[in-house]
Amino acid sequence: MMLRHLFTALALCAAIFCSAHASAREQYLVAVESDYYPFSFRNEKGDLTGFDVDMAESLCRRLNAECRIVERQLSEILDGLARHEYGFAVAGLRTTPERERYIAFSEVYYRSRSFFISRTPGVGSYTFEKADGLCIGVQRNTIQYEYLLQNYLPRGARILAFDRWADVKAAIRSGEVNVILSDGLPGYAFLKSPEGRGLFIAGNAEDDPQATNEARIAAPEAERRLIRRINEALRTMKTEGEIQLLSLRYFSHISF
């Protein structure tokens, strides 16, 4: 009888240990940008999908973490990282001196060059000399926005900034602006979609290195240990070809 009680106690301890071990998995709230095709969007079934969503899910598996992925506007992601609301964000963020004050960044997980999209065919490139009189649409809080403020606004261009990428696309379609500056990968996806018909590439941004996005995973500045683990996962994903396969699924032009 005492032996039976001993086995029961041991089994109970083992169950408690396993339960505690399982609940010890790290939990993260992971932010992706809302309505940013092909990086994060709702498919015909209403499911959240996209390159960044798949990246976030794979990272969580490799971190052995429980994650809940949430859609947020870019400004909300940046503010949330500053307030430690998110474990990390997979939203194509690039480093800037201002962001590095409160954000820790991973290694690059994709690169993309900015270019102009115009309503006018055969316009050529919108060089600095053509800035005067232009009305340029752009998404706020992006490197493209900062680039235009520094290089085109002082040369006479009018800059209309929108919180959402969807609103930038609507502005060029409606004629509210006559040109937009886009990150390359969502820009190509836009042009290849039905809503991009009648629009044209109008050259890369001048002084392009300033407007080239080296996208990184972002976490609150105090989470540098987590960023080191994310870097290890990213290297494994590249070595095993997973990122390359994801790129083929969502877009064809990418460099790592």
Tokens found for residue 189: 């996806």
- Position 255 pLDDT exceeds 70: no
- Position 254 pLDDT exceeds 80: no
Mean pLDDT of the chain: 88
Give CA–CA dist 157/147, Å, rounded: 12
Model confidence at 12, in pLDDT bands (50, 70, 90)?
very low
Question: In Å, what is the CA distance from 165 to each residue of 54, 116, 174?
Answer: 20, 14, 14
Predicted confidence (pLDDT) per residue in 140-196, tens digit: 999 999 999 999 999 999 999 999 999 999 999 999 999 999 999 999 999 999 999
- Position 251 pLDDT exceeds 90: no
Q: Return all residues near 85 (Cβ < 8 A) that are at least 6 apart.
A: 29
Looking only at the bridges linking them, the beta strands covering 135-139 and 179-182 are parallel
Give CA–CA dist 33/53, Å, rounded: 9
Collapsed DSSP state (helix, strand, coil) of residue 94: coil
- Position 14 pLDDT exceeds 60: no
Predicted confidence (pLDDT) per residue in 203-220, tens digit: 887 765 666 789 999 999
pLDDT (0 to 100) of residue 9: 45
- Position 119 pLDDT exceeds 50: yes
pLDDT (0 to 100) of residue 211: 64
Give CA–CA dist 106/140, Å, rounded: 23
Domains of the chain as residue ranges with CATH: 26-112+213-250 (3.40.190.10), 115-204 (3.40.190.10)
Predicted confidence (pLDDT) per residue in 59-117, tens digit: 999 999 999 999 999 999 999 999 999 999 999 999 999 999 999 999 999 988 899 99
pLDDT (0 to 100) of residue 253: 55
Residue 45 dihedral angles phi and psi, to the nearest 5°: -90, -5
